[in-house]
Structure 1
Amino acid sequence: MVKKLIFISLFCSFAVSAQDIHFTQWMNSPLNLNPGETGRFDGDFRIAANYRSQWGSIMNKQFNTMGLSYDRVFSVYGQELSAGFQFVNDRSSIGNLMQNKLMFSGGCNKLIKGNYISGGIQLGMLHKGLDPNKYSYPEQWDENIGEFTNQTGIGNAESFTSTNEYLFDFNLGLSWARQITDKLFPEIGIAFFHINRPEESFFGNPENLEIRHAYNVRLNYKLSSKYIISPNLLYSFQNNAQDMIMGFIAKMKMQENKSKINNVFAGLNFRDGFDRNYDAANVIIGATREEWQVGLSYDINISNLSSITHYRGAFELSVIYIAQSSEPKIYNVPCDRY
């Protein structure tokens, strides 16, 4: 019963804060990170797939997130442009609480006096849905069994005007990078989501979805011809919800081998926020092989819930495929980066 109450409290905090979909491997989910990442790769086109499973350690009630994106680069009158799309599904196994988003991206990439600058926009639709019959409510307290239940025919006294919401959405982002020395290549991204502040409500009293701000920094430092280390930081906030992931990823270039693996990488990050305790530690490992990159990560829960979760948090898988360039590019991001 205690676990149930804790999970319900946790679930309600997610629902009320309405925090956007996020991944621990944010650097491997480019179009979800920043519209300015559209076309920001060395190749003809890119396909990225992400999967995240969270909170399965509490009563086997999971939050599952799946994302798929595609973007490509093309030239128009000597100007390098990019376009793509992204679909993300986020679903909770309790109450069928669900979010879907389908976004179409467009971008422009320029090299100005050694500065790699990318700007992008996203237009699309958000869908949010739930099944109110899967929940129990304060009016459904059953004195006979001593708990809230929706199985005894007691009404919930709630007036849902809709169980599905469809919202038009508009996002904007900008990315900057520069090869400062032969060893240091910093990258900075700024993005704003829900700029049009669409209205949403399941109860007929619509409220505007708040703008989410996202800022990310990566400092790619070449230790040698074989090793690169990349300290990184992602900070985002939306209304009263905030998320900060900070840490590092190290990459090692492999010698020629039968498996044709080019690089392997590993890293450690922490999820935190200002004025609050640590939420999770994240371990990331992965490898690149020719056009493919695969990343695995696990969130180790170190919050106050760790006594319930037994330190188990979320599992993530990312797969990226980048087709090799068929012709020279105007804008070419250096390869010595994570």
Structure 2
Amino acid sequence: MTSTTPHPAAPRTVPITVHPVAGPGAEDVLVATSGPHEGSVWTGTEDGAVVRMSPDGRTSTRVAETGGRPLGIEELPDGRLLVCDAHRGLLAVDPDGGAVEVLVAEVDGRAMRFCNNAAVASDGGVWFSDSSREHSIEDWKADLVQLGRTGRLLHRAADGTVTTHLDGLAFANGVALAADESWVVVAETSARTLVRLWLTGERAGSRELMSDDLPGYPDNIARGSDGLVWVSIASPRDPLVERLQRGPRVLQRAALGLPEALQPAPKRTVRVQAYDDAGRVVHDLSADGTRFHMVTGVREHEGKVWLGSLHEAAVAVLEP
């Protein structure tokens, strides 16, 4: 794996606008780029709903129920929404009638524990992450603290065939494709890295670090309309968490057994970064975390940067 360029010393602070959503925990965010809902903003909430928001973010409507916990959301070539459901797996959702089709529920005969984020290729193939073989979304802190390396980067071909391409990832999370689909990149939340897998050319099949030593824990990622890979930073680097990661399992379990208020927790911050294809930081943005925090979804669209959050009943917008 290759090393990367240094990160900026400090992000640039920009204004933030918060838009309430009809449901708690709007984890990811998607801006539709085609079809009858072009310009609409989509998210999924903790209570299992898929929600459509108006382009200005002022109104929201629940349009489907997955029966699980929707996380990453993308557009499929047939006009449906691709939803990574942490409980049910990879789903296709009709944005009008709300019908839900399960595309992938298990891999190699075993149910996925934590389907998280995805990117859709031009041929209809889907690259997606399964964050952990051991922990569900309800136990995400355990996977982070124990530095579990059971995450995977998977691919579902248009014919339904599912293949594991990267294994042993430390909390596999956000996924994005190169503009020419020559590589795919996946975020490792626990390790604070972006891992790139080359798909074409002389390096096809090899992996490298697109960026390492991120300033915090990356969550969902997405290629923006500006051609950059945008990365949500859910919380800044936590020295306590990293000491626990290096410590014995008994100490990790003891920390996780503490009352919730005493456990390591995300800080009230708002931060996103954007990378070019060489792994260089082009944008590093922050905002006031008083009314919105723990950014887990990011989508740049025509100059606006939309944000989702695992904990907020809202999405937010940055206008750099």
Normalising by structure 1, report the TM-score.
0.31
**Higher Rg of the two aligned structures:** 1
Structure showing the higher strand proportion among its residues = 1
Normalising by structure 2, report the TM-score.
0.32
